[in-house]
Amino acid sequence: MLVKLLRNGVGGLVQVGDLLTRPAKMKRTAEAQQEINEACKQLALYQLPRCPFCIKVRRTIHKLNLPIEKRNVYPGSVHREELQAGGGRVKSPCLRIEENGETRWMYESNDIIAYLQQRFGEA
């Protein structure tokens, strides 16, 4: 119980800090952004709002100007069940990637960030 309170408290502070220091979004031409928007329809981020690792990934998503769907995995949520069934475990953040008819589940925040930067480029 104490660990949960500490995690939520610290997570709340990190969340506020993120909102106050959020980086500017990457600028693209309208055509390039439309291509990115289409590619992002194949991605979904399974996350918790106050998780520091999830915040780290969301900052990168914001910075790269990626419209990736965010799915909260609170206990009892449908998305939590999807994560368990598809990825094999409930751990956040997790990026669901659908490519070439296959689904991959990427769990580590640093791996997710590296994948997004490599795929969508960082200015």
Determine, yes or no, domain membership for 68. Answer: yes
Higher pLDDT: 19 or 61? It is: 61
31-69 pLDDT, tens digit each: 999 999 999 999 999 999 999 999 999 999 999 999 999
Determine, yes or no, domain membership for 32. Answer: no
Domain span holding position 105:
2-22+40-120
Determine, yes or no, domain membership for 29. Answer: no
Q: Are strands 69-72 and 102-106 parallel, antiparallel or unpaired?
A: unpaired
CA distance 47 to 58: 9
pLDDT value at position 102?
A: 95
77-115 pLDDT, tens digit each: 999 999 999 999 999 999 999 999 999 999 999 999 999
| Domain at 77, CATH number | 3.40.30.10
Q: Which residues pair with 46 in a beta bridge?
A: 71, 94
pTM recorded for the entire structure: 0.84
Q: Please spell the DSSP secondary structure of 25-40, one letter per residue.
A: PPP--HHHHHHHHHHH
Number of domains in the chain: 1
Determine, yes or no, domain membership for 33. Answer: no
Determine, yes or no, domain membership for 35. Answer: no
- Residue 67, preceding bond cis, omega within 30 degrees? no
